Amino acid sequence: MAISKKLKEILEEKGVQYEAEEHPAAYTAQEIAAAQHVPGDRLLKSVIVRKEDGEYIMVVLPSTRLVDFDKLSALTKDKKLELANEDELGKLFPDYELGAEPPFGNLYGLKVYADRSIEESDEVYFNGGSHTDTVKMELSDYIDITQPIMGDIGRHI
């Protein structure tokens, strides 16, 4: 399977240089980093969170970090935040394999929040929409496309 059509279209529309790579099936961020032989702090993962009002947001972190819900709550000004469940993910991202969403929530109307630690690398890797495809691109291009709200919202694993 190649990277998703929607992702490929936005990258090409924006004139972004990227590399799509295949790897053996991997389901966790750490497995993907190992399969691609890249440091975990360069592999971005997407976490979908439901706010109290029912709105969904995408939280983007390096694979070496977890969402710190207290910090995220302070940044979003929402007291009750929960992880989206698999049914919700399937409805939000019908063109991606479950759990393989690229970190481009803005393509689906979701605000994107990113942990400031992603800025420690010039290039990043992320799921291309399946459990066997990753994309490598410049961090600056990723930020230009997604315009994430940056903050200290993660904690090291």
- Per the structure, the complete domain to which residue 88 belongs is given by 5-156
Residue 157: what pLDDT? 85
The number of distinct structural domains making up the chain is 1
- Spans in the chain with pLDDT lower than 70: 1
pLDDT of 55: 97
Average pLDDT, the chain: 92
Report phi then psi at 27, rounded to 5.
-115, -10
53 exposed, middle or buried (CB, 10 Å; 0-12, 13-18, 19+)?
Answer: exposed
- Across the beta sheet with 56-62, what order do the strands follow? 81-83, 44-51, 56-62, 111-115, 149-151
Q: What is the DSSP string of 89-122?
A: HHHH-TTS-TT---S-GGGGT-EEEEEGGGGG-S
CATH number at residue 85: 3.90.960.10
pLDDT at residue 67 in the model: 97
pLDDT attached to residue 130: 85
